[in-house]
Amino acid sequence: MTPTRIILVALGIAALVAAPLGQGNYIVYTLTSWLLFSIAAMGLNLTLGYAGQVSLAQAAFMGIGAYVTALMTLAGLPWIAAALVSVAASFVVGLLLGYPALRVQHHFLAFVTLAFNILLFLVLRNEEEVTGGSFGLVGMPRPSVLGISTDSNLNFYYFALACFLFAAFVMWWILRSPWGRAFKALRENPIRAESLGLKIRRQTLLAFAIGSAFGGLAGALMPPLVQFIEPGSFALIHSLKLLLMVVVGGAGFFFGPMLGAALVILLPELLRFTEGYYLIIYALLVIVLMVFSPNGLIGLGQKIWLGFRPKQEERRDMKKGFQL
Amino acid sequence: MNAHAPILSVTNISKQFGGIKAVNGVSFDVQRGEILGLIGPNGSGKSTLFNCILGQLRPTEGHCRIHGRSTDGVRPADLSLMGVGRTFQQLSVFPRMTVLDNVILAGQEHEGSMVSRLFGRPDAGLTAKAEQLIEFFRLSPYRDTEAGSLSYGQQKLVDAAMAFMAGPEIVLLDEPAGGVNLTMLAHLKDRLLTYNREHGTTFVVIEHNMEFVMSLCTRIIVLAQGEIIAQGSPDEIRSNPMVIDAYLGG
Ligand SMILES: Nc1ncnc2c1ncn2[C@@H]1O[C@H](COP(=O)(O)OP(=O)(O)OP(=O)(O)O)[C@@H](O)[C@H]1O
Ligand SMILES: [Mg+2]
């Protein structure tokens, strides 16, 4: 990292630390859920933006994390143990789903994950004895860290922030390792990557499973945040919302999902004054953005920036992909 | 493994696309250290033959052996790990990655394990080696440029550099000279000969540039309509009436 980047990241973290100070409960809550969705979207970005696979089950992985954590903490186990199990469970389910799906090429994973999300929703709703059915689960305790309870919303915000920073660090580490290079190669030219020794199936599967594990971590933060979980929070529509976050923010960019999550969560709030029209305006804004900048907000920012300092531009006269 | 066994042995390979027999019963051996040229008119099945050998296409009939090991059902990634390098006829770089990352990627899967590639150094310890190759192909000014924004010839060179990164024993090059200028071409030929001399690297080269093929290769196979119509030394090929008729023109 360049010194400028380090300074920018430090400033960003300082801003995140300062953000909730002096704010009311509602804002602190919204900020916390932004952190949470950013973690999930970051994971989906690995699958979609780096490895180039569509997963429509990120909300389902959050659901796995949320229910595992809720049940374990209700049983008196510490949050950290529950979170570890949640992450591991999402990772393993990701492997089990992805292994058969990725043997078949292309968009098959999208269908498998779509079906899985619907299935999981039904299981959560119908297995009332374990999951509480559509009434959900309530009364999950909040964790305490070194004797400091996170019962106050502000404390819980900082707890979520620590988890978010940890997740971001892990993601950064993965992306700067040879694995990160391999993930990008998968997206850009899998056939060439394979001819260079990259086991594309295994690497794609790992991207999906790791991305799913991030969903599990985000889910583990949900029960202590809302203290009430129900199947509806993990329905397919929420997977689509997470997909929207990644795409709107800029798939394949490190900060894309965080920006996208902010927009998807905040914009409806900001547009509330338009009353009934907000969904229409919202949809139009997304369409306009996608038309003008398929690379999302970060792509748009880059375009504008490069407009001032032209350096590199994608060639349009040569075919990008690949043919045998 | 027999030291005198051919490094690559192709037995009766055919590939049919619907009604077209793109490759029709081709057999040949490549000895260790050989530089074999593969020439023939457009559509004669050269690239298809490569892709059958390299596991990208499943031949309709026939077998290949590398180091005496059958390549039936072997994935391209495993062939690469067995020491087989290749370039594609079409441009085949990673357009949004820098030249340096392209070249490092070409070597990283051959270093360490999955685990060490996650926890080890971001460049898998390959920066110096990659820079040498980049320097060699005179791409140093573009080290940090996205490969997709280079010129056609430059991308072709990045592609060639990638084929060498993992220190392969045999490299199959599909039209490496296309769009490459004459000085660079001489340089490329030099490089192939040096690799061949110093490391015993074996090459199979598809190329339409006759001067390049004739001066580089020790043996040449001519393909026409999917069949071998002639093979021999460059001089024999140049004076073969069938080849002149089918390909070289008179
Ligand atoms: N995937 C495919 N599907 C159908 N036909 C194909 C396919 N690939 C190649 N062919 C056909 O097979 C024949 C041989 O093609 P190939 O690409 O091997 O030729 P080539 O010798 O490499 O030619 P060139 O010198 O132009 O590169 C052509 O007639 C081509 O149309
Ligand atoms: Mg060809």
| Residue A84 to residue A87: CA distance in whole angstroms | 5
Q: What is the band of A36 on the pLDDT scale with cuts at 50, 70, 90?
A: very high
CATH code: domain A24-323 is: 1.10.3470
Q: Touching check for A313 and chain B: CB below 8 Å?
A: yes
Residues A177-233 pLDDT 10s: 999 999 999 888 889 999 999 998 899 999 999 999 999 999 999 999 988 899 999
Residues A87-126 pLDDT 10s: 999 999 999 999 888 887 667 888 899 999 999 999 999 8
pLDDT at residue A324, as a whole number: 44
The yes-or-no verdict on residue A245 having pLDDT over 60 is yes
| Helix (H) or strand (E) run with residue B63 in it | strand B61-66
Of A177, A181, A202, the CB nearest to B105: A181
Distance from the Cα of B80 to chain A's closest Cα (Å) equals 5
pLDDT at residue B182, as a whole number: 87
**pLDDT lower than 70: segments of chain B:** 1-3, 249-250
Q: Name the more confident of A315 and B156.
A: B156
The ipTM, to two decimals, is: 0.89
Distance from the Cα of A70 to chain B's closest Cα (Å) equals 32
**Chain B window 94-153: which residues touch A at a Cβ cutoff of 8 Å?**
94-97, 101, 104-106, 108-110, 114, 117-120, 122-124, 145-146, 148-149, 152
Residues A274-288 pLDDT 10s: 777 777 877 788 788
Burial of A64 (0-12, 13-18, 19+ CB in 10 A): buried
pLDDT at residue A321, as a whole number: 45
Question: HSE on the CB side for B63, CA within 13 Å?
Answer: 7
Instruction: Give, as one character, the DSSP assignment of residue B245.
Output: I
Q: Give the Å distances, CA to CA, from A256 to A62, A120, A229, A244.
A: 19, 28, 27, 11
Q: Give the Å distances, CA to CA, from A63 to A8, A141, A208, A246.
A: 34, 18, 16, 19
The yes-or-no verdict on residue A323 having pLDDT over 50 is no
Phi, psi values for residue A84, rounded to 5°: -60, -45
The yes-or-no verdict on residue A320 having pLDDT over 60 is no
Average pLDDT, chain A: 87
The yes-or-no verdict on residue A6 having pLDDT over 50 is yes
CB of B47 sitting under 6 A from ligand 1: yes
pLDDT at residue A322, as a whole number: 43
For residue B88, what is the nearest residue in chain A, using CA coordinates? A324
| Residue A223 to residue A229: CA distance in whole angstroms | 6
User: Taking CB atoms and an 8 Å cut-off, how many pairs form between chains A and B?
Assistant: 113
pLDDT at residue A271, as a whole number: 77
Q: Which ligand is nearest to the CA of B226?
A: 1
pTM: 0.87
pLDDT at residue B239, as a whole number: 85
| Residue A33 to residue A238: CA distance in whole angstroms | 13
pLDDT at residue A310, as a whole number: 61
